[in-house]
Amino acid sequence: MEAIVKPGATRTSTVIGAVLAVMMSLVVVIADAPRASASPGDLLGTVDLPGNGDSVGGTFDGTHYIAPREFFGNQLDIYLPPAGGNGTATLVATKTVVDAADNPVGISAVSWDSSRGMIWGALGNNVYLIDIGDPTVSGDVVATFQFNPNVGGLSLIDGIAWDANDDTLYLSPDVDLNVYQFSLGTGANPPLGTLMNTVAPKNENGDADGLVSGVAIGADNTLYIGRNGAAEIRRVDKTTGDFISTFATTAGRVEDLVCDPVTYAPNEAILAKDAFSGLYEAFEVEPGTCPLAGGAEVDKDLRHTNVDFTPTDPDTSEPLPAVLGDLLPIAHDDHFGALVNVHPKNGTVQNTNPGQFYGVVSVSGAEGLESLWFDDEFGDQFDINPAQLGGGIEVIVVDGDGFATVLTDALKDLGVSWTVDNDANVVSLDVQIAAALGRPLEADETLMIYLKFKPSPDFKGEPAPGFPDHWENTGLVDLDHDGPMTPLEAGASLHLTEK
């Protein structure tokens, strides 16, 4: 058996950070957890919000539902969801929103921002940040003015969503045809309050048909939007507004939307706020497509080996942003593609094109992440080669400007323990981020694991399989907070065809 074990590779991963939400761009299932019989778009439950009046807004911080009590009021009701996500929520506190001079501040829509630990709120031509403090204690909370949207529509804002991917804010004013993206003035974004994009959601015919009411950030550059005149939830491209799917039909007047991958576990849901009945309707979404705002996102993909994690300018020797490798081409049904060279006479496998590639796992939006455990299983057509750190295995942290710190270099590999077994087709990593960096992961950083694969000796020289053939690469990424380990499985598939 070919196995390389670094001493100290023990499964003792601990993570401190925001509530976990997972986005997989390829194949995603919850490992070892049977899923209910519901399907995406099915109603999972209805949650009554006692005391909540005519109100369009609401958000979820991973534990509490937070909803303005009235259209134009200055009170926020905070609830614990009912067990199982169906029934009456428990009102735990009410916050009264005021400004620094103790004047009432009306709020119609809210969105949780985990990076700031605050809530974005809006009404009319005003956007605020609200520090709600202890969510279980009633009292006054201060709203700090941020900017004027100046995009029209009625004074009622019926949708607001903070986007953790680029720290921007999406607004949908009432009786408006569009969703508007605003800068929050951080990173490479323009000044605070700058309108960055106007998204006109389209139908399946490519027509922008308006009726926007409510917005939530989906995975893979998508938005969920409510359509109040059609009792419809639609999924569209976040940049262009292009139609992806009509997701669900609500019973009431759908207003603001929020993702909830927690309450209905192992199912994941999007919640639609009803305008007049003081309730949420919860609809099932495909796993990872509607992540909790600011939760960790885990992606799995396959890339070419054209990487340079620490490039420098040849003229000045100044560091440059990392080159992270191009994705392999998509061959079929979201499966990456590769060609197999077959000997023309004896029909055996000679090599593949590309001859080597990386399997890459990316963990982003995981502020406070101190460590993780990663298991990767792969088909026997390919091996990790070389089966060692600093070649076959690389672990890097990429900051918000694109510069990388390599955790598997000679100075920092004490933070990474590993086991590689190319006979059993498995590799395990225990990445102690805080030990390697001297601190946890920051909000704008992405942890990336690169595993280099080459055709295995058992694949080369063997009779060619029937084509197309498939190579499967699945992994378990364990991120934890205070409770038991949460295994999550990510997978990528390579579609092999004969050259």
pLDDT score for 296: 65
Assess contact for 57 and 68: CB atoms under 8 A.
yes
Give the pLDDT of residue 412. 57
Q: How would you write 215-255 as a 3-class SS string?
A: EEEECCCEEEEEECCCCEEEEEECCCCCEEEEEEECCCCEE
Nearest to 28 by CA among 399, 285, 262: 285
Confidence category of residue 482, pLDDT binned at 50, 70, 90: very low
User: Is residue 5 over pLDDT 60?
Assistant: no
Average pLDDT of the residues in 113-123: 89
Supply the pLDDT for residue 14.
27
Q: Is the pTM of this model over 0.85?
A: no
What is the mean pLDDT of the segment spanning 467-472? 89
In the predicted model, what is the mean pLDDT of residues 160-164? 91
37 pLDDT tier (thresholds 50, 70, 90): very low
CB atoms within 10 A of CB 304: 14
Residue 414 has phi, psi (to 5 degrees) of -65, -20
Residue 493 has pLDDT above 70, yes or no: yes
Q: What is the pLDDT of residue 2?
A: 35
Q: How far is CA 63 from CA 45, 331, 432, 445, 460, in A?
A: 17, 41, 27, 25, 52
User: Which one-letter amino acid corresponds to residue 431?
Assistant: V
CA-wise closest residue to 151 among 115, 113, 121, 125: 125
What does the pLDDT read at residue 413?
A: 57
For the stretch 357-406, pLDDT in tens is 999 998 876 767 888 888 889 999 999 999 888 889 999 999 988 999 99
Q: Which two tokens stand for residue 132?
A: 């709600």
What residues contact residue 309 under an 8 Å CB cut-off, 6+ apart? Answer: 322, 323, 324, 394, 396, 404, 406
Instruction: Determine the longest span between alpha carbons in the chain, in angstroms.
Output: 86
Q: What percent of the chain has pLDDT over 90?
A: 49
pLDDT of residue 1: 34
What average pLDDT does the structure give for the chain? 84
Tens-place pLDDT, residues 12-33: 222 223 333 333 222 222 222 3
The structural domains of the chain, ordered by start, are: 3-17+297-498 (2.60.40.740), 37-285 (2.120.10.30)
Average pLDDT over residues 263-292: 86
Q: Give the C-alpha separation, 218 to 157, whole Å.
A: 20
The C-alpha atoms of residue 58 and residue 30 are separated, in whole angstroms, by 27
CA 272/CA 313 separation, integer angstroms: 50
User: Nearest 5°: CA angle at 254, between 231 and 92?
Assistant: 150
How does residue 426 score in pLDDT terms, banded at 50, 70 and 90?
very high
- Pull the structure tokens for residue 6: 């670094």
**pLDDT for the residue 229:** 65
pLDDT of residue 30: 24
